[in-house]
Amino acid sequence: MARIGVYVCHCGLNIAGVIDVKNVAEYATKLPDVKVARDSTYLCSDSGQKMIKEDIKKHKLDRVVVASCSPRMHEETFRKAVNEAGLNPYLLDMINIREQDSWCHSEEPEKATEKAKVLIEMAVARATHLDALKKGKIKAAKSVLVIGGGIAGIQASLDLANAGFKVHLIEKSPSIGGRMAQLDKTFPTLDCSACILTPKMAEAGRHPNIELLTYAEVENVNGFVGNYDVTIRKKPRYIDEEKCTGCGECENACPISMPSEFDLGLKMRKAVYRPFPQAVPNVFTIDKRGIPPCRATCPAGVNVQGYISLVSQGKFKEAYELLRKFIPFPSICGRVCFHPCENECERGKFDDPVAINAIKRFVADYISTQEKEKPKPPLKRNAEKIAVIGSGPAGLTAAYELTKMGYPVTVFESLPKAGGMLRVGIPKYRLPRNAVDEEIQMIENSGVEIRTNITVGKDVTLEELLQQGYAAIFIAVGVHKCRKLGIEGEKLRGVIPSLEFLRKVNMGKKVEIGPKVAVIGGGDTAIDAARTALRHNAKEVLLLYRRSREEMPAYASGKEEAEKEGVRLHFLVSPKKIIGRDGRVVSLECVKMKLGEPDETGRRRPIPIEGSEFIIEVDTVIPAIGQSLDTTFLPKNVKLSQYVTIGVDQVTLQTNLPGIFAGGDAVKGKATVIDAIADGKRAAVSIDRYLKGKDMWAGREKKVSKAEEIPKVGIEKKPRQKMPLLPLDQRLNDKEVELGFTEEMAREEANRCLACGGCSECLECEKVCELAEVINHEQKVEEITIKVGSIIVTAGCEVFDAFLTPELGYGHYTNVITNLEFERLSNAAGPTKGKILCPATGKPPKSVAFIQCVGSRDKRFCRYCCRVGCMVTLKQAILVKEKVAHDVDVYICYNDMRAFGKAYEEFYDRARQMGIKFVNGLPSEVKVSLNDSLCFDVYEPNTNKLLEIQTDLVVLASGLVPSPDFAKLQRILRIPRSPDGFFLETHPKLQPLETPTRGIFLAGACQSPKDIPDTISQASGAAMKAAELLATGEVGIEPLIAMVEEDFCSGCRICESVCPYQAIEMKAKTVKGEKKNVAEIIAAACQGCGICSVACPARAIDMQHYKQEQILAQIKAAVQGGKRR
Amino acid sequence: MPQFEPTIISFLCNWCAYAGADLAGTSRLQYPPNIRIIRIMCSGRVDPIFILEAFKSGADGVLVAGCHPPSDCHYLSGNLEAQKRILLLKKILLQLGIEPERLRLEWISASESEKFAAVVRDMVMKLKRLGPSPIKNGDIRAT
């Protein structure tokens, strides 16, 4: 038989105003086992507690039920009280008749009273089953994690560190300092924010007990009070934090400018940067945002953004050197590359893509006018020699790369001159031969041996090359055989395959063509052939293509220029028969086509229209419908692909024969120059690995990561530079048609680059950094784990985005700024060096209007008050008067002025005395007046007047909002947030610094918006709380854990599998003479959730203080108690 | 005859739903007093036996409320366990002749006082429409 005392609290009128407390207490006296029941005005007061204590002794009570406020508030208070009277604290049960009864049923007092009776009945039923429990103790780490390096985090860290605790201060940005670092002066003293903050920052930076973890984020937290295991992700700075001296040489060398986050985009910073000069740690950070789309798209992986950024700075030599690291043919590529990079250029989504290729060509042209350094022969020589067959772009690139690696390379070329298709395929008006000669010469200078007039397969066979000691062979021959039309009359004189035609012309041989030429095909070769024919005596050139203009694969500018020069394009036409007389072509029979369903290439299939045949008179027919590989030189055992090209492994380019590699046209059928270069580079890497016996496949996936789509707000539209062309009347010769950019054009165009990747990896910073191994562009994300006893969250807040109130003109009118932007303008280290100037005009304002409560106290956004806006505005208004001129008209349009802190009202007074005009009302819309100043109307209810205000500058007092990072922190730390989105304290008055998760504390604006004095006080308070918790190196743990009835346990391990904390272990034990495996609870790890108890099929696990019999008794009382009445 | 007033037994987890109910009180939100709240540490502690016992004792409805999935749960995965168990239990209730609508699982965070009050209001309204539980004196009522 239990002896229960029941105590019902009035809580002043909070409970008694609704519930008939006396009636409830009297009812309780009649309940079984209840020895005494009383009511009290304030049970939590000393006298209330005293009453309970006395009753326990007097009535020998062994259970106590308290009916009052939420146990989340005062359970600890009453547990202490009963304990002081000698009763085990866990023999108390507390029920909530305030938050969950009187307050939420205040309109139904009788029903609320009845509900209170049932709740007490439930508690009495439960109380009889309560057990006495003992708190456990566990060791606690004497270290604290502080999340957020603003003033709150800095203060909390310093206090704890000075008290002897180890502190890990983590900050996501490159420097600690937070919002306070951005501010100019602080209210109400008008002392400089930096003067207060920076000494504290420096102290935190050098304190032996503080470990700064900047540019880092918390990834995960496991464990429990006293023993939190924290995983931290350190973002790569690409600069060694320990070694960097902060000298800033790298910043000067960096070509990339990006908007400074610290200066809210009002100023630019470099891609290698330090947010502000007093940053702690005083080191630089390189901002990389991933591989830009241009670079990711380039088959050869050329660092496009890198050389473009260097060109924008006028560093042409550096740009050229960077280019040569990726490709040996900048000049050739700059002329003939089909530039897939430009198709992917982010700028193209905004206006036009950057003219990347033309810039590359400019760099190459610029360098060819300069004196060049002789390439130095490679330092090391490897023994294995390598043969390359074919001296086109693929072969020469491979040879060049392998020579750089130290291999002796011989290139075999069947034609009298090296260059392959570059020399005999592409016409001179597109690719002047001096460009080809120059770049091939450079390759030869680097040590590559080129042997011309040797046809492999005829003069020497592959096998013989191997016998001559070549350790590896790279086959890079071109496709010089034209595909046949497959129609009657192809053998007639006057039919010249396009490649043969181009080869002969390019080699200066005589080619006989008539005045009327028909070119058949729609690719680049067809266009080249047609334009070349025009330059060689043809009077009329027709180009016949079987599909329409849209499907034509030739590059756009080629098509355009061909038409301008006089080539006539005929679409949806296909040749049917070449008609001859005396063995010579006289005409061509054609048929009209229509487009059907798309074929496997995705283009619509052309279908002949029956009966539409017609004849055109021509004397020369040039088929240009594709090429094929001459495979006769290959040994029989080389495997071919289904397209009758050489079959290779797609990653390594090795053929089925070890040591024999192939690439370019020989593999792809028809490769572009950049594809061929890419293959050459790829083969070189494979051959090197092959010869060294290394894995040829490892780590060669194509880099696909693209820079996040960069915002295009604030970028001015600027058209792409147009390529200057040779006038039409000067064209019919070998002169290059595209004339190339001037220096000004190239720099102008390079400036259009959006720097998608942030850092362009031009590596200029490495060149100027005087210390060894400080800059490391290959740095990776680092994960570290630390153990802490407690965590303080000081994650700060964000500023309301004024774009969300477009009616106030932010983002639309340059002279509408936010109050944080004002701080930067007013700050001596800011973009205007502390001069308050209108951003649009750069002149000091003659009048300034401050608009209060932007986003705050606004049902659309934040219902709460930002708590700093009024004081910030008063401060800024005074600064305008003091810094600009005393006669500047300053208006403050407000809802209510809130000057509640120490010396705040006096500050408000000062502003009033300075003649600042206070308008009690907010404008609904900011507009531009006829004289170009800003204007708005405000209705002032006090005077019942509509005021019209004209002003030069509008400053918006933007509210404070929760940071988007809070969601992640909430999830990781398992702490709740209040409806406004800020972190929720356990109780606003009793436990304002605590979260419901023991050992995790809050300070600063992450809990709710607050000013600097409040933030610092709270931070010191939270530090004290953490210190109090960890001072003894031990923390008490609640005994609310699982317990195993070993007799029932069958060792099935289901509990072990559901436990989220690995708090259950199987142990071999002898239970009642029987040896078996039973579950054992690890008390320190068990958190008391109860999942295992429910999962146990044998009901062998129960939860202390939330036992099944306790809960069942509550349930029965809840229903039956209610039904009885 | 007085209008039928359903009795609802509810199990609220200490960290989210119980705190949400507290906030409803602090915010003076009004909802019908038909609900009897039992505080538990985690919705994963709710044994199907508790729910069956509630119905057996004559409750007209049972509300279980916990933290939002997937990751608000103070104990990592208790809410997901509760979800699985309650889904299954609803099927069993149907076989026992108890309308599954009488059992309700809700996710209510510490800040969702409005949601808590709305859930109680809605549940009381629906139970009134549904009528008293078919169980009387521990047995299914003959109909």
Asked whether residue A357 is domain-assigned, the answer is: yes
More confident residue, A1062 or A965: A965
Look at residue A367 and tell me if it is in a domain. Answer: yes
Is some CB atom of chain A closer than 8 A to the CB atom of B45?
yes
Residue A613 within a domain: no
Is residue B138 very low, low, confident or very high in pLDDT (cuts 50, 70, 90)? low
Task: Determine the Cα–Cα distance for residues A508 and A751; give it in Å rounded to an integer.
Answer: 42
Q: What percent of chain A has pLDDT over 90?
A: 76
Instruction: Please enumerate in sequence order all residues whose Cβ is within 8 A of that of A30, keeping only pairs 6 or more positions apart, or say none.
Output: none
Q: Does residue A846 sit in the same domain as residue A950?
A: yes
For residue A23, being part of any structural domain is answered with yes
pLDDT tens-place string over residues B84-109:
999 999 999 999 999 999 999 999 99
Measured CA to CA in angstroms, residue A846 lies from A24, A765, A873, A886, A972 at distances of 70, 44, 17, 10, 50
- Report the CATH number that the domain containing residue A58 is assigned in CATH: 3.40.50
Sheet of A889-894: strand order equals A816-818, A953-958, A847-854, A889-894, A917-920
> Of the candidates B19, B47, B111, which has its C-beta nearest A1108's C-beta?
B47
- Residue A1060's pLDDT is what? 85
Residue B75 belongs to domain spanning: 8-130
pLDDT tops 50 at residue B37: yes
A562 and A594 in a single domain? The answer is yes
Output phi, psi for A612, to 5 deg.
-100, 15
Q: Residue B143 — pLDDT band, cuts 50, 70, 90? A: very low
> How confident is the model over A882-895, as pLDDT tens digits?
999 999 999 999 99
Clarify whether residues A915 and A849 are in a common domain. yes
- The reply to whether residue B33 touches residue A105, judged by beta carbons under 8 angstroms, is yes
Domain shared by A927 and A858, yes or no: yes
Q: Is residue B137 part of a domain?
A: no
Q: Are A824 and A949 members of one domain?
A: yes
pLDDT average, residue stretch A165-190: 96
Say yes or no: A472 and A486 in one domain.
no
Residue range A1057-1061: mean pLDDT, rounded: 88
Looking at A105-236, which runs of residues are DSSP E strands?
136-139, 143-147, 166-171, 185-186, 191-192, 210-214, 216-224, 227-234
CATH number at residue B102: 3.40.50
Assess B111–A contact: CB distance below 8 Å, yes or no.
yes
* A34 in the same domain as A128: yes
CB A91 within 8 A of CB A130: yes
The residue out of A99, A133, A167 marking a domain boundary is: A133
- Could you give the dihedral angle defined by the CA atoms of residues A72, A1014, A228 and A991, in that order, rounded to the nearest 10 degrees? -10
Taking CA–CA distances from A105, the nearest residue in chain B reads B30
**Does residue B122 belong to any structural domain of this protein?**
yes
A283-295 per-position pLDDT tens digit: 999 999 888 999 9
Judgement on whether residues A506 and A640 belong to the same structural domain of the protein: no
Q: Where are the beta strands (DSSP E) in A384-539?
A: 385-389, 409-412, 449-451, 470-475, 481-482, 516-520
Interface contact flag, A1094 B37, Cβ < 8 Å = no
Q: What angle do CA A1070, A1076, A1082 make, to 5 degrees?
A: 85
CA distance B128 to chain A (A): 16
Pairing verdict, β A816-818 and A627-628: unpaired
A:B CB pairs within 8 Å: 165
Asked whether residue A926 carries a pLDDT value surpassing 80, the answer given is: yes
Give A1115's contacts in chain B (Cβ within 8 Å): 9, 38, 50, 53-54, 57, 59
Q: Considering A1035, A1063, A1093, which residue would you say is the last residue of a domain? A: A1035
Backbone angles phi, psi at A471, to 5 degrees: -80, -25
pTM of the predicted model as reported, rounded to 2 decimal places: 0.82
Binary contact (A122, B28; C-beta < 8 A): no
Report pLDDT digits (tens) over A901-919.
999 999 999 999 999 999 9
Q: Tell me whether residues A107 and B73 touch, CB distance under 8 A.
A: no
Banded model confidence at residue A162, pLDDT cuts 50, 70, 90: very high
A443 located within any domain:
yes
Distance linking the first and last C-alpha atoms of chain A: 26
pLDDT, tens digit, 9 for 90 and up, residues A499-548: 999 999 998 888 888 899 999 998 889 999 999 999 988 899 999 999 98
The residue count of chain A comes to 1125
Contacts of A974 in chain B (CB under 8 A): 15, 72-74, 76
Separation of alpha carbons B64 and B84, rounded Å: 13
pLDDT by residue (tens digit) across A708-724? Answer: 667 666 678 899 999 99
* C-alpha span between A804 and A227 (Å, rounded): 43
Read off the pLDDT of each residue in A444-463 and give the average, rounded to a whole number: 90
The predicted structure's pLDDT at residue A983: 95
Q: Does A633 contact chain B (CB < 8 Å)?
A: no
The number of distinct structural domains making up chain B is: 1
Model confidence over A496-512: pLDDT tens digits? 999 999 999 998 888 88
Question: pLDDT for A111-137, tens place per residue?
Answer: 999 999 999 999 999 999 999 999 989
Q: Identify whether B63 is part of a domain.
A: yes
Assigned domain for A339 exists: yes
Q: How far apart are CA A601 and CA A552, in angstroms?
A: 13
Asked whether the beta carbons of A170 and A234 are under 8 A apart, the reply is: no
| Residues within 8 A of A (CB atoms), B 69-108 only | 71-78, 81, 85
Closest CA–CA distance from residue A100 to any residue of chain B (Å): 6
Q: Using the beta-carbon criterion (under 8 Å), do A1091 and B42 form an inter-chain contact? A: yes
Question: Which of A101, A118, A133 marks a domain boundary?
Answer: A133
Report which of A562, A487, A494 is spatially closest to residue A523, judged by C-alpha positions: A562
Q: What is the mean pLDDT of residues A170-195?
A: 95
pLDDT higher than 60, residue A402: yes
Subunit contact A1115:B57, Cβ cutoff 8 A: yes
- Mean residue pLDDT across chain B: 92
- Output DSSP code: residue A315: -
Residues 132-151 of A with CB under 8 A from B: none
Reported as a single tens digit per residue, the pLDDT across A974-1022 is 888 988 999 999 888 888 999 988 899 999 999 999 999 999 999 999 9
d(CA A919, CA A906): 19
Lowest model confidence (mean pLDDT) among A487-491, A597-601, A691-695, A807-811: A597-601
Q: Domain total for chain A? A: 7
From A197's Cα to the closest Cα of chain B, the distance in A is: 34
List of chain B residues whose C-beta atoms are within 8 Å of the C-beta of residue A1093: 45, 47
Q: Which domain holds residue A435?
A: 379-479+629-709
Average pLDDT over residues B106-132: 95
**Nearest-CA residue of chain B relative to A97?**
B25
Report yes or no on A297 lying in a domain.
Answer: yes
In the predicted model, what is the mean pLDDT of chain A? 92
Note whether B30 contacts A107, CB cutoff 8 Å: yes
pLDDT class of A705 with cuts at 50, 70, 90: low
Please say if the pLDDT value at position A101 is more than 50: yes
In this structure, of A541-555, A1087-1101, B15-29, the range with the lowest mean pLDDT score is: A541-555
In angstroms, the separation between the Cα of residue A272 and the nearest Cα of chain B is 37
Q: A447 versus A792: which is more confidently predicted?
A: A792
Compute the nearest-CA separation of B48 from chain A (Å).
8
B75–A1091 CB contact, under 8 Å: yes
What's the average model confidence in pLDDT over A371-386?
A: 73
Same domain, A849 and A981: no
Residues A164 and A82 in one domain: no
Q: Which residue has the higher pLDDT, B38 or A463?
A: B38
Does residue A445 sit in the same domain as residue A562? Answer: no
CB A141, CB A787: distance < 8 Å:
yes
ipTM: 0.97
Considering only residues 942 to 971 of chain A, which have any Cβ-Cβ distance to chain B shorter than 8 Å? Answer: 970-971
Residue A773 lies in a domain: no
CATH assignment at residue A661? 3.50.50.60
Q: Is A1040 on the interface with B (CB under 8 A)?
A: yes
Helix, coil or strand: residue A98:
helix
Instruction: Report the pLDDT value the prediction gives residue B142, as an integer from 0 to 100.
Output: 47
Q: Which residue of A has its CA nearest to B17?
A: A976
In terms of domains, do A918 and A987 share one? Answer: no
Residue A711's pLDDT is what?
67
Residue B19 lies in a domain: yes
